[in-house]
Amino acid sequence: MKFRFLILSLVAVGTLCAQPPRGFHGNATSGTPPAPPTPAEQATRETARLTRFLNLDPTTQQPEILAILTTEYTQLQANAPALQTLRTSLATAIKTNPGQIDSVLLQISPLQEQQDAIRAKATAQVYALLSADQKTKLGDGLGLLGSGPGGPGRFGPRR
């Protein structure tokens, strides 16, 4: 009885020790995080998701939607570094210099407006390609089509 308990304990400890750190999804041996997906990879995944839900036509709708989404993600990626830098500056201003908040927000606004416009235009293009039945299945909301990465229905709330 004691021997079984000892073996079971050793197996449990060994299993727990073999796990990567909590929340880590990168290469466990080198410690590097995974590379972010490319716009083409993001568009492929999103097209596959829409195909599963809306039963997109593989010869007409899928290639067109893939092209629209690839363009969308490529355009969104263009100003993402500047937007991320400004969001970091906003966090710093909130913590250390509240007088700069308005100035940083004025710099963020045009970039955020560009991203929202890119998302809305891509969503409109995808919606225009849907059949009447697909639009009915989609319903009144556009949540499934979302509004780009981070928008409702795609990848959760913005960070």
Q: Is the pLDDT of residue 44 over 70?
A: yes
The helix/strand/coil state of 14 is: helix
Q: Is the pLDDT of residue 58 over 90?
A: yes
pLDDT in tens, 77-89: 998 999 999 999 9
Read off the tokens for 64.
């067109």
The whole-number average pLDDT for the span 22-38 is 68
Kindly report the average pLDDT of the chain as a whole number: 81
The whole-number average pLDDT for the span 128-144 is 86
Q: What percent of the chain has pLDDT over 70?
A: 70
Q: Is the pLDDT of residue 155 over 50?
A: no
Which of 14-18, 34-38, 135-139 has the weakest average pLDDT?
14-18
Residue 35 has a pLDDT of 85
Residue 42 has a pLDDT of 94
The whole-number average pLDDT for the span 7-11 is 64
Q: Give the orientation angle of helix 61-96 with respect to helix 39-54, to 10 degrees.
A: 120
- The answer to whether 111 and 78 are in contact (CB under 8 A) is no
Considering only CA atoms, give the Rg of the chain.
22
Residue 118 has a pLDDT of 94
pLDDT in tens, 73-131: 999 999 899 999 999 999 999 999 999 999 999 999 999 999 999 999 999 999 999 99
